[in-house]
Amino acid sequence: MKIPVVYVFDEGFAEATIVSAISLLKNNKEQVEFHLLYPSRMERSGNKVEKEIIAQGGEVIKHPCLEEWVSKYKVSAPSNRGKNSFQPWNITIFLKLMIHQMVQKDKVIFIDGDTIVGECLKKLFQFKLENKIVAAVLDNHSENMRKYWKNLEVDVEHYFNSGVMLLNLKKLREIDFLKECEASQKKYGKFCKYSDQDLYNIILNGYVSLLPSHFNIQAWWGLTDKIWQKQLISFRHGILHFVGNVKPWHLWHRPNAVKFWKSFSDQSKTLEIKFQKVRNIEQAISYSHCLDLEEKYQQSSFIKTKIIEKLIENIGSKK
């Protein structure tokens, strides 16, 4: 039995997807059929991910998508996105909503690229969906998001994180999921904080099976080191999902997380995975906070001193 796994990415997430796929292949013995969804104008990124997965012994089916193909479904971004903190709409967001159309399987596992996958694929794929359409883990902010949507007169029973999903694609096609997306996006798009995740939750309300939390361990960079260590233990038979805007390929993430992610990125056979260096004060502040969380106070103090010196320099240059 081959387990179909779907990744959606653009050039910004191609290398992260490679690292996630490497961890998946290293930690699972089952045969995996990788389905890669990406914008067709980013064929170079698609080829890069395909080449590495094949080098690691995986099987790949590519699904490049024309942006015009997306627009024909009229699932377009509203002109007013609301608060700046809202997740922006882009083509990869829409591709997540179109998996059932592009991948001709009855059931698949979808995994975000900002993940490290432990030994869990077989158990996840064999999870009984019964009469449900999606199986997923509650979002870290599930209760807050349920209240948020309830205030907008939208009842969401289980607000789940869409970073890892077991999807019944056959049923998604039966309910004409894209048509539902179009209607919901027109009605609620300007209120969606998490774009595709919100639409999945609104449309599939009542058709959700909750997965055990270890299948989507939502690791935020600002958690205490004690919690991080617990997440690492749970990851062995689950999936570690690096949520938030700071990722482990950012060198202002917590050093222990960067080191952990690097242990998989170093196993790449076809390219050197790049890390993004600290380039501004905001990133330096985040890094100093991460050092504090790991009780690396001397290093943190050094970074904070440099930040203060830079701020004073900037103030002086404006006089």
The 10 Å CB-count burial string (b at 16+, else e) for 25-39 is bbbbeeebbbbbbbb
In this prediction, residue 94 carries a pLDDT of: 86
DSSP for residue 66: -
Q: Which of 132, 194, 184 shows the shortest CA–CA distance to 163?
A: 194
Q: Determine the topology of domain 2-216 in CATH.
A: Spore Coat Polysaccharide Biosynthesis Protein SpsA; Chain A (3.90.550)
What are the mean pLDDT values of the chain's consecutive 10-residue runs (319 residues total)?
A: 95 96 98 96 95 97 84 47 54 90 96 98 96 97 96 95 98 95 87 92 96 97 90 93 96 95 98 95 94 94 91 72
pLDDT value at residue 268: 98
pTM exceeding the 0.85 threshold for the entire prediction = yes
Q: What is the pLDDT of residue 189?
A: 84
DSSP 85-153: TSPPP-HHHHHHHTHHHHS--SEEEEE-SSEEE-S-HHHHHT---TT-SEEEEEPTTHHHHHHHHHHTT
Q: What are phi and psi of 252, to 5 degrees?
A: -100, 10
**What does the pLDDT read at residue 311?**
86
Detail the DSSP E strand segments found in the chain.
Answer: 2-8, 31-39, 59-65, 107-111, 115-117, 134-138, 160-168, 208-210, 217-218, 239-241
Per-residue pLDDT, 111 = 98
pLDDT value of residue 88: 60
